[in-house]
Amino acid sequence: MATRTALSIRKVTPAIGAVVEGVDLADVDADAAGAIRQALFDHGVLFFPGQQRASVDQLWEFLEHFGTPWKDDSFGSDEDGPQLVGDSDFQPTKSGTAVWHTDSSFLEKPTRFTLLRAMAMPDVGGDTCWASMTAAYEALHPSLREMLDGLSAVHTLEIPMACMGEYGDAFMAEHDRFHPRQQLHPMVAVHAETGRKALYVTESCTGRIEGVSPLESRHLLALLFEHIKSPDFNLRWRWSEGDVALWDNRKVQHYAVPDYDSPRVVQRIVVKGDRPLGPGS
């Protein structure tokens, strides 16, 4: 029988994040999924402690309440299934995710939601930080918000891959078979479900602003990159084995702290995304 236990949703900070208890992701009914979906829109990232019991097939089925699950961002498809999801050690790629980013913004249709389950964590270190881009946008001066509403920026795969050495070279070679390396996206994205605006620039992938001088682009992006890092908009999560995190890439960014030297093993599934739309779309 699908779970019908009353959910407990506890905020982590006023701006972002909530811990969800009273649900077993091995067996989620439509009512519980609807409440989780609304909590995701409200808080940006949700944490489900102690979810060791759920199989990958059950996590996949859970994500079907939110869209079409894919095995990964760049090489996933609608034909994917849970048998393609394995345990991944993120230690070899930690330098590429140790910067604020939203998943796969270098794609035409970036990932909508991302789910991670911690399988084996370092004894110390390996935390992840998340930041609300809705709160970051709303904290800007109205005149700056109005200007950003009309601008677009180039997102490129080359920036994060440059940090990853041979792995980055191999990934780009495979990626080039399916996708261009760059995409133009609005600097402010309008959330399809809530209608709220969020900053859509990332230090990981945003290379330049379209239609302005290189000097203006560098300085405006530098300002926004620093603004995003404010503690007013972010949280830091200390993982325990079995924790599941689910977040909305359209309104949050994250940063994987690279302060560990032992394996950091997770299971990761994404939900097929859409092209970001700006205020004028």
Catalytic residues: 101, 103, 254, 268
Lay out the sheet containing 252-256: strands in order across. Answer: 234-237, 128-132, 252-256
Going 95 to 98 to 99 to 105, the CA torsion angle's sign is positive
What amino acid is encoded at 101 in this protein? Answer: H
Q: Which two tokens stand for residue 189?
A: 């994205």
Distance CA 245, CA 114 (A): 8
Residue 183's DSSP bridge partners are: 155
- Taking alpha carbons only, the member of 21, 221, 202, 237 closest to residue 130 is 237
Distance CA 122, CA 102 (A): 24
Residue 69's DSSP bridge partners are: 271
Residue 132 φ then ψ, to 5° = -85, 115
The three-state DSSP-derived secondary structure of 46-79 is EEECCCCCCCHHHHHHHHCCCCCEECCCCCCCCC
